[in-house]
Amino acid sequence: MLLLLQTALELGLISSLTVLALFLSYSMLNVCDLSTDGCFTLGATVGAVVALSGHPYLAILAAMGAGILSGFITALLQTKMGISSLLSGIIVNTALYSVNIGIMGNASVLNMNKTETVFTKMKGLLAGSFLAGQYKLAVILLAVILVAVFLYFFLKTRLGLAIRATGNNPDMVRSSSINPAFTTIVGLCVANAFTGLSGCLMAQAQKSVNIDIGSGMVTVALASLLIGQSFFQKGRIGGKMIGVIIGSFLFRLVYTIALSFNMPAYLLKAISSVIVVIAISGPYLKQQLPNLIRKWRSGNAGRNPGKEEI
């Protein structure tokens, strides 16, 4: 059970970086960034290749840099080239598949079993202390805290406020001397840097990358985000951010527990899809329900004779 909890915590916290990325792009900027899958994999492959060449720390920066580049292109397509935001995400995602295979040297799997990573570095650092067994968690926690604190203060700056306003009321932004193209570009670059970091840590934690590491990540992260937001609906930004991190952990926890009850692992993506559907359409259906009941009742009570039901 404890092991289960730990796995859930590790995986949940690593994906919480992607969830924080979506918190910025989806909740704040109101852009559903569908390049997330590809960008996650991009972070993983770039991080793996750089780590394999013997630079574990540089791998982190390279993965984030690659994420920024990917976010920049996605943002450029939707702000300057007249492509809708959903489509630009899909286009970049598709292109990233080729890019990722290319980065891995025309392979679809890379093994990092004997590679020095930030995790092995931390393992060496903590060897002998009482935290020795938790070296993975230590690295991940550090990353999540750094990213969360950065994002918290970033959203408080004028640029952060402008990004939030862009997502909240683009009409107002355009008439108030802020260039919405600029805020969208910055927002997506920052968000995708987090996604890249998330992928990089995931690859290094499981000591391997395959081309499918990020597939369905956007739905998994969205499910976590929505779970987290349902707990912290009215809080301020800080509370909401903690909420989505907890949401990410909860999602993985439920999933890991289900796995221990012999649920087949391949169901993860279907479950996350169902969660996203429930979380998004739930409030809508709840609102519609009274009308549906009314319609049903009146339909039963006062049918017009002679009129065909359509």
Size of the site for other proteins (CB under 8 A): 20
Nearest distance, CB of residue 166 and other proteins, angstroms: 9
Binding part of the chain for other proteins, among 42-50, 157-165, 205-213, 274-282 by CB under 8 A, reads 157-165
Binding part of the chain for other proteins, among 133-141, 151-159, 278-286, 295-303 by CB under 8 A, reads 151-159
DSSP 99: H
| Residue 256, both tokens | 């890991």
Judged by beta carbon, residue 72 or residue 97, the one nearer other proteins is: 72
Question: Under a CB-based contact definition with an 8 Å cutoff, are residues 107 and 101 in contact?
Answer: yes
Asked if residue 80 binds other proteins (CB under 8 A), the reply is no
Q: Of the candidates 80, 174, 295, 303, which one interacts with other proteins according to CB under 8 A?
A: 174
Nearest distance, CB of residue 31 and other proteins, angstroms: 15
The number of angstroms, rounded, from the C-alpha of 259 to the middle of its chain's C-alpha atoms is 22
Judged by beta carbon, residue 180 or residue 199, the one nearer other proteins is: 180
Residue 206: enclosing H or E segment and its boundaries?
helix 180-206
Nearest distance, CB of residue 159 and other proteins, angstroms: 4
- Using CB atoms within 10 Å of the CB of residue 83, give its burial: 0 to 12 exposed, 13 to 18 middle, 19+ buried: middle
Q: Of the candidates 129, 179, 260, 298, which one interacts with other proteins according to CB under 8 A?
A: 179
Whole-angstrom distance, CA of residue 36 vs CA of residue 114 = 28
DSSP 252: H
Q: What are phi and psi of 208, to 5 degrees?
A: -160, 155
51 CB-near residues (< 8 Å, 6+ apart): 59, 112, 115, 116, 117, 204
Per-residue interface string for the shown chain with other proteins, residues 193-232, x marking contact by CB under 8 A:
----------------------------------------
Q: Of the candidates 4, 131, 142, 172, which one interacts with other proteins according to CB under 8 A?
A: 172
Query: Residue 196's closest CA among 91, 50, 87, 98?
Result: 50
Question: Under a CB-based contact definition with an 8 Å cutoff, are residues 214 and 206 in contact?
Answer: no
Judged by beta carbon, residue 161 or residue 242, the one nearer other proteins is: 161
Angle at 38 between CA 146 and CA 238, to 5 degrees: 30
Asked if residue 168 binds other proteins (CB under 8 A), the reply is yes
Asked if residue 76 binds other proteins (CB under 8 A), the reply is no
Asked if residue 157 binds other proteins (CB under 8 A), the reply is yes
Judged by beta carbon, residue 166 or residue 256, the one nearer other proteins is: 166
Total Cβ atoms within 10 A of residue 61: 17
Q: Helix, strand, or coil here: 310?
A: coil
Alpha-carbon torsion (84, 277, 248, 149), positive or negative? positive
**How far lies 298's CA from each of 200, 301, 304, 306, in Å?**
57, 5, 11, 16
Asked if residue 162 binds other proteins (CB under 8 A), the reply is yes
Asked if residue 84 binds other proteins (CB under 8 A), the reply is no
Binding part of the chain for other proteins, among 105-113, 126-134, 175-183, 271-279 by CB under 8 A, reads 175-183
Nearest distance, CB of residue 65 and other proteins, angstroms: 20
Nearest distance, CB of residue 177 and other proteins, angstroms: 4
Judged by beta carbon, residue 149 or residue 277, the one nearer other proteins is: 149
Treating both helix axes as pointing N-terminal to C-terminal, what angle do 2-22 and 36-52 enclose, rounded to 10 degrees? 110
Which chain residues interact with other proteins by CB under 8 A? 153, 156-159, 161-162, 164-165, 168-169, 171-172, 174-180
